[in-house]
Amino acid sequence: MPRFMMIVKASEDSEAGVMPTKEMIAEMGQYNERLAQAGAMLAGDGLHPTSKGARVRYSDGPPVVTEGPFGKAADQIAGFWIIETGSMDEALEWARRIPFREGEVEVRPLFEASDFPA
């Protein structure tokens, strides 16, 4: 079955380290439980703000490390799920059920070994 990453886009609040409310955490826990019970959830986590991260850039020389934060919040990732479903349509149906009140989630298929030449 195909796997998909549901990428949660960051917001000004998530990049500022604002934590979700207890209600939002409970709703997300229920959503995650439904994903798990359906056998669709493979992994999922939230990410600390980019101010706590670093990037490693590779060019012709030695790798260069840059400490965060990085650019506009809307260009960053705040969390993700890796799910396994029968199709993109099914993955999108799961994305529509995420109990967010605002924000954006990007759904993309993961490469499988069969996608690469032998």
Judge if pTM exceeds 0.75.
Answer: yes
Q: Name residue 56's amino acid.
A: V
Q: What is the DSSP letter of 50?
A: G
Tell me the per-residue pLDDT of 65-115, one tens digit each, with 9 for 90 and over. 999 999 999 899 999 999 999 999 999 999 999 999 999 999 999 999 999
Q: Where are the domains of the chain?
A: 3-112
- Phi, psi (rounded to 5 degrees) for 99: -80, 45
Tell me the per-residue pLDDT of 21-78, one tens digit each, with 9 for 90 and over. 999 999 999 999 999 999 999 999 999 999 999 999 999 999 999 999 999 998 999 9
- Phi, psi (rounded to 5 degrees) for 49: -60, 155
Would strands 41-46 and 77-84 be described as parallel, antiparallel, or unpaired? antiparallel
Question: What is the Cα–Cα distance from 15 to 102, expressed in whole angstroms?
Answer: 15
Tell me which CATH homologous superfamily contains domain 3-112: Dimeric alpha+beta barrel (3.30.70.1060)
